Structure 1
Amino acid sequence: MPVLTVFYIKLLINLGLTLGIIWTITRSDLFSRWQSGNDKLVFGLSFLLFRFVPWIGIFLIVNEEPRGDIPFFFYKAVAAKAGGFVYRDFWSYHAPLYAYIISIPVWLWHNARAIVLFMVLMEAGILWLTYQTYKSRSPRALQLAIIYFLLPAGFMYILVDGQEEVWFWGAALVMWRYTLKQTVNYEIGLGILYAIALLTIKVTFILLLPAVLVLVKKPVKMLIVMAAIGLPAVGFLYWQIGDLFLMPIRHTEQLMTPNLFSVGRPFIEFFVKIDAKNSGLLNWFGLLFTVFVPVFMAFKSRHKHINQVLPSIFIACFVCMMVFQASAMGAYVIAYLMAVIFEIIDIRKTVHVVVLLALNWLTVVQPFVWVYIKQPAYTSLGMFGDISFLFEYILEILNVLCFLWILRETYRKIAPSENPVLA
């Protein structure tokens, strides 16, 4: 199927999902009643309607081939299934265990579509666990879960493209639930969970660690536990493959959009010429802000228990990653979108709903437009004489503004008495 045809179909699906979100928002009383007695049925039917049936339609009936990263995931899964050693026998930009995890569905069905279904099932499991965590906290928890199922970004990036970034929230959620249950002396368990996450998902998850260390009562104890697990793992990898295990870090050098650098580049190039092939310094500069802002927020809330602020700190961390990292791209919104729905968005407020819908539409439309017009790097203002470049650049700006709005609302939740700071 032609790329443009696929894009137009995505736009129609986005419109239908948006209308579904609007209807769901207007039926709070109905979902509140369902949450009290029929939540499993409603959640299950929503999964079937908005994930499983579309998966059947796209990949079995229409027989579309999986897109996005799925072909690369399938390559890794097949190699892992065959007994290959990660980084040495096959490429991987994920943590060492990731390829072996996604090989599980390939054992059952040797097809890339199996990995897409696996991602969908993982997302549903994380959403159900999120709903269960918030169920006692909000009468709108079930309504928010169904709204998430309807969000265009989740539908497109997970169901269609099989992205795995929602696993970040899954790992943070497990850690948060542990601190809710274990309110004292939680550092050992938290350290074990964090170390497992780093071996399982992506090295990017380590960006959250400095802020977490500010929040815990005994950070050294947590670090010792993590080191007891992580150092032997790193030592074993080095023994087997040398420094090839650094492959995931090297993947962060590619410049992407939308982020603060991509929208600021036309002005930055007035003063400094950027070498796109040697841009590691940009990400190191962005890394400072990605780590500093969540650490600052954690410091502001250090008098609170970690289980009161961990979801917000998680959101702040990965929003900052998308804002400040020059290698950040739109698909990363999946990392924190589920957390934002439950923790930040108030569906009773029009502005919140508008920003949520705008973010989802922009996240779907902007990457396609950028790729379709040959991935331009805006190195001068003169490039905006091309109307297609100007249109895509405006989409990037709107995207970044949505990220900054989420960051502001997250800060307000953490430090409500100090709203003027980011107002």
Structure 2
Amino acid sequence: MNFFEDTVSIVKVAVSLLLAIFSWLLIRFPAPFQRLLNPRPALTLWGFFIFFRILPFILVYLVLDFAPRSDTEFFYKKAFAAYQGKMVYRDFLSYHAPLFGYLISLPLFLWNNAKILIPFMAIFEFVIVWATWRYYRAVRPDALLVAALYFVLPMTFVAMVLSSEEDIWFWGVGLITLHYASRQQSSLWIGVIWGLSMILIKSMVIVLLIPMFFLVDNKFKYVLGLALVGIPSIVILYLLMGDAFLMPLQHSGYHMTPNLVSVTRPILSGLYNQISLTNLNTISLFITMALSSWAAIRYKHLGYQRLFPTLFVLTFGIFMLVQPSAPGFYLYLHMIVVLFEVMRSEDRAFGFQLILLNFLLVIQPITWVIYIGMKNYDDWQAVFASSVTAADYVIQVVEVALLIVLVWKTYLHLKMLDRTASPAYSIPSQRAGSSSVS
């Protein structure tokens, strides 16, 4: 396929480039934007949501009548099957949690069309962005600008408008647990809430649940909370469909990019080819949980409310780096937390790196999926087989380097939180790290 004949790809790259430029202007010249936006926070949030989510939806899917692509099409298939009353895993394919297909089938009662999933997912996203802004506005004077930046970033725009991704829901769940973290029996409720996410979203959250075991104070109540949801769910699923409920585990059977495995494969393909992808993913999963668990143990004294957002970013940042089956769009899962928790307005270099990473994560799937056919680079000959493969590999290397920077910056932020955790350091009560998780 000739790139210049692929209109959709050209438009996607052009729009992403314009969004990247706008994003950089927000970071480079924050003062005039803040003076413009801060007096009317509700109008600002609604305005950016409408302009960067609702209007593009109307233009692309209603005016131009484009058919949904990517994950939206796959989501609709499972939503429609659930809408018809079919049994998940037994009657239709799903790599998500057992109730996810039924949840996203709800808008089909209004309009039985795949297009309806995009505004449905966008509403969830908007609620989570709004809640995040409210959570951070007391400690970040630029919180409203950060929320606006989130809507403008290329990857978050494409992930929602073109793919209706749901991964930001995990952070929404995290916000709910932060609300309960200062209450009595909080460890129990945190376990229950994350257990519910396992049956509502997808099982990938397991990578975070293990490190949180070392973060909460009352580990028994945390595990009890998970068990109160998990054990009945497993029993019911097994009685209904046998071992078919293990279907989501098959999602680890696909190579994705970019990650450390994809960029080191030309050098280490002999080693990787001796290990099945499933085993390689399992090893990577343990690496992620081990490193994240170490951080949870080492900095547990910071408290759940102060440590969890950074631990959230650190866990999924490491996961993206080491997991061979983790696609680049998983950045959408924790991008909003990176902006509010890790990024600082004075660190413009890091802001530029985040924008560049967003842009590259939009254009790299175009080369790797459409033009290369998702093939692995098992040697240097495969890398330099054409200008497209060489360009794709270079982009992957840059993306991985930027992901390493992101993880390192997150770790430095964690150390900064540790340095400021002293009696002389005070923060608003809603972010207080001294609240116990019992």
The TM-score with structure 1 as length reference comes to 0.94
Q: Tell me the equivalent position of 1:329.
A: 327
Q: Tell me the equivalent position of 2:22.
A: 20
- d(CA) in 2 for partners of 1:94, 1:272: 27
Per-residue deviation, 1:183: 5.0
- d(CA) in 1 for partners of 2:72, 2:408: 34
Q: Tell me the equivalent position of 2:358.
A: 360
Per-residue deviation, 1:416: 3.2
- d(CA) in 2 for partners of 1:237, 1:173: 28
Per-residue deviation, 1:32: 4.1
- d(CA) in 2 for partners of 1:186, 1:292: 24
- Residue 90 (1) aligns with residue 88 (2): no
1:179-211 deviation per Cα after TM superposition (whole angstroms, max 9, x unaligned): 2xx255311211111111111101001110111
Among 95, 108, 111, the alignment partner of 1:109 is 111
Q: Tell me the equivalent position of 1:136.
A: 138
- d(CA) in 2 for partners of 1:65, 1:311: 36
Q: Does 1 or 2 have the higher relative contact order (CA < 8 Å, sep 6+)?
A: 2
SS at match of 1:188: helix
- d(CA) in 2 for partners of 1:173, 1:70: 25
Q: Tell me the equivalent position of 1:341.
A: 339
1:55-104 deviation per Cα after TM superposition (whole angstroms, max 9, x unaligned): 10000001100010111211111111111111112111100110011001
Q: Tell me the equivalent position of 2:376.
A: 377
Per-residue deviation, 1:334: 0.6
- Residue 284 (1) aligns with residue 282 (2): yes
Q: Tell me the equivalent position of 1:401.
A: 401
Among 98, 101, 107, the alignment partner of 1:99 is 101
Whether the 8 Å contact between 1:359 and 1:402 is mirrored in structure 2 is yes
- d(CA) in 2 for partners of 1:184, 1:363: 42
Per-residue deviation, 1:417: 9.0
Deviates more, 1:350-359 or 1:238-247: 350-359
Taking a change above 3 Å as real, the CA distance of residues 63 and 407 of structure 1, as seen in their structure-2 partners, is: same
Residue identity over aligned pairs, in percent, reads 32
Per-residue deviation, 1:406: 1.0
Structure 1 runs not aligned, ≥5 long: none
Whether the 8 Å contact between 1:300 and 1:415 is mirrored in structure 2 is no
Among 110, 121, 124, the alignment partner of 1:122 is 124
Matches within 5 A, 1:291-306: 291-306=289-304
Matches within 5 A, 1:137-152: 137-152=139-154
What code does the residue aligned with 1:392 have? Answer: D
- d(CA) in 1 for partners of 2:300, 2:37: 34
- d(CA) in 2 for partners of 1:375, 1:254: 10
Q: Tell me the equivalent position of 2:175.
A: 173
Per-residue deviation, 1:19: 2.5
Q: Tell me the equivalent position of 1:231.
A: 231
Whether the 8 Å contact between 1:21 and 1:150 is mirrored in structure 2 is yes
- d(CA) in 1 for partners of 2:71, 2:293: 32
Q: Tell me the equivalent position of 2:65.
A: 63
Matches within 5 A, 1:216-295: 216-271=216-271, 273-274=273-274, 278-295=276-293
Query: Matched residue pairs, number?
Result: 415
1:335-361 deviation per Cα after TM superposition (whole angstroms, max 9, x unaligned): 011111111112322211221111111
- d(CA) in 2 for partners of 1:270, 1:280: 16
1:242-290 deviation per Cα after TM superposition (whole angstroms, max 9, x unaligned): 0110000121121111111111111112445357xx4211101111111
- d(CA) in 1 for partners of 2:417, 2:65: 54
- Residue 312 (1) aligns with residue 294 (2): no
Structure 2 runs not aligned, ≥5 long: 420-438
1:352-372 deviation per Cα after TM superposition (whole angstroms, max 9, x unaligned): 122111111111011111012
Per-residue deviation, 1:20: 1.8
Q: Tell me the equivalent position of 2:163.
A: 161
- d(CA) in 2 for partners of 1:39, 1:283: 43
What code does the residue aligned with 2:197 have? Answer: A
Per-residue deviation, 1:2: 9.0
